[in-house]
Amino acid sequence: MALRGIQKLLQPREQQLNMIRALVIRSADYGIVIFDGQGILMEYNTAASVLFGLRPDMNGQYTAGAFLADKLARSGSPDQFVNETEINVGQRRFQINDKRVYDDDGTLITRFLTFTDITKVHDAVAELENSSQRDFLTGLLSRYAYYKELHVRDQQDDPVTVVRCSVENLALINEVFGNEYGDGVIQAVGQTLQSLCEENDVCARIDGVDFAFILGRSEEEARALFESEGMHCIHVRDGANEIAVNLIFGVAGKTNDGSPIENLLKTALEDVKTNRLRNEDSIREAIMKNLRNILLSRKLYDDAHEAKTQKYLTELGRTCNLNDQEIDELLLFAIMRDIGMVSVPPDILKRRGSLTDSEWDIVKLHVVRGSFIANSIPELAPIANELLHHHERWDGLGYPDQLAGTDIPIKCRILDIVRYYMRHLYGKGKSPAAPFDTVLAEMDGMSGQRFDPKLLVEFEKIVEMDNHPLDFAVSELR
């Protein structure tokens, strides 16, 4: 009697647990499907019903084998399914948990499957994996994907040639136009290089300025393509203007000596370095031409009287005992003096009226920007200090550092005199052309204020001889 009494007391508790268990199963937001030991459907929850179309009349009749075949498109023994962890159901991805419960004798009592929707996680992982295969900027293969493909090609008997490509003047482009424009240049280079690929070729962006090909062609065929003259330079539009982008290539073909396939990349890189040295002069010339075109297109340099300007600069430089290298730097400085102006907003540069104090402060920063650009480009580094100080005055009232007298670099003092003379003699911008004697009189009035007095005297001798050779000769005889 005591035992039956205890059982009666426990029955409500057991019923309550069963009710809670059923409620948990039905309300779970992931699919649950339960089979008995013979593989007959016993129970399922709402999520599984919606997912697989299960109905109450299937209970006690539907088998695990039928479920796998009909709902999951799986064939074979239901026991094989335990090895699968993820499946697709329609457009969704599910993680599967296959749990089995056995009694003490090892007999299967029940089996229940849970299906957790991992579609979002799966798609995110797939997107991440895909992004690791492609360069985010150009859409070309990534470095990782390139190496994978290289190893695949190494297992094949077909010819393999590696070509590396370096964009030589991207630092200049980034400094002058900004990183956003530089990104556009990289994209344009990527499109151009991709257009050279045939069916069995791939192109990748290996690093910031480095691209690489895997070609299903011989080394001789690759060299014929990439060493052609037209492939060393492409042109990218900047509004109405074109910017030349210089490319250097290196080529290496697969050999049969059993060396690691990665050696092709190293050999091709060495070829790039060799070609860079071989073309050093032409690369430097192209960079200078690019800079000059940028300045001309933005009206930051006027070459209308360039020959005469260079003549005066050279002659005045000689009177200051500048050597040939220093004269060359002076002439380069004269062309590049306003390179920092590319950082000034166009609406300020084109303003016809007077500037506000804050706008004028922006303009004055161009000397700092110009010096920064020069220091980042080896070809311009020797004139970085001159670019910084070319608006200083003899009396110390210039900018940015208020240098005075001979503390101002000699090339800055020379250029200021020659530039003022040419600007006012021939007229430019708001300065109308003026007679020779008028210009010299104005400059004399600024001797010791804006201009170096001794240099101004030497310059006036040069231009007097150039404009009035007979009068100058007579004065010299006296």
Q: What are the domain boundaries of the chain?
A: 2-122, 137-292, 298-477
The amino acid at residue 274 is T
**Positive/negative CA dihedral, 474, 475, 477, 478:** positive
Q: Which of 38-42, 375-379, 416-420 has the highest mean pLDDT?
A: 416-420
Q: What pLDDT does 443 receive?
A: 96
- Longest CA pairwise span in the chain (Å): 150
Q: Which residue do the tokens 């393509």 mark?
A: 225
**Which of 238, 192, 232, 197 lies closest to 216, judged by CA?**
197
d(CA 216, CA 348): 53
pLDDT tens for each residue of 11-24: 566 676 667 777 77
Q: What pLDDT does 303 receive?
A: 62
Question: What confidence category does residue 470 fall into, taking pLDDT thresholds of 50, 70 and 90?
Answer: very low
Q: What dotted CATH number matches 2-122?
A: 3.30.450.20
d(CA 180, CA 187): 11
**Beta-bridge mates of residue 87:** 94
Q: What pLDDT does 13 receive?
A: 62
Strand order in the sheet with 161-167: 202-205, 210-215, 161-167, 241-253, 233-238
Q: Write down the pTM of the prediction.
A: 0.58
Q: What pLDDT does 474 receive?
A: 38
pLDDT tens for each residue of 391-409: 999 999 999 999 999 999 9
Angle CA(406)–CA(407)–CA(408) in degrees, nearest 5?
A: 85
**Which of 285, 286, 279 lies closest to 245, judged by CA?**
286
Q: What pLDDT does 421 receive?
A: 94
Q: What pLDDT does 300 receive?
A: 66
pLDDT, average across residues 291-298 = 71
Name the class of domain 137-292: alpha beta
Question: What confidence category does residue 297 fall into, taking pLDDT thresholds of 50, 70 and 90?
Answer: low
Q: What pLDDT does 477 receive?
A: 38
Q: What is the chain's mean pLDDT, rounded?
A: 82
Supply φ then ψ for residue 439, to 5 degrees.
Answer: -65, -45
d(CA 438, CA 431): 13
pLDDT surpasses 50 at 476: no
Which segment of 171-175, 245-249, 271-275, 327-331 scores lowest on mean pLDDT? 171-175
- 333 and 447 Cβ atoms separated by less than 8 Å: no
Q: What pLDDT does 229 receive?
A: 47
pLDDT surpasses 50 at 287: yes
pLDDT surpasses 60 at 473: no
pLDDT surpasses 70 at 74: no
- CB-based contacts of 314, cutoff 8 Å, min separation 6: 327, 330, 331
pLDDT tens for each residue of 29-54: 888 888 888 888 888 888 888 888 88
Q: What pLDDT does 328 receive?
A: 93
- By CB neighbour count within 10 A (0-12 exposed, 13-18 middle, 19+ buried), where does 371 fall? buried
**Which of 396, 415, 412 lies closest to 404, judged by CA?**
396
**Beta-bridge mates of residue 214:** 162, 202
- 412 and 419 Cβ atoms separated by less than 8 Å: no
pLDDT, average across residues 112-130 = 79
Question: What confidence category does residue 478 fall into, taking pLDDT thresholds of 50, 70 and 90?
Answer: very low
Which segment of 139-143, 208-212, 256-260 scores lowest on mean pLDDT? 256-260
pLDDT surpasses 80 at 75: no
Q: What dotted CATH number matches 298-477?
A: 1.10.3210.10
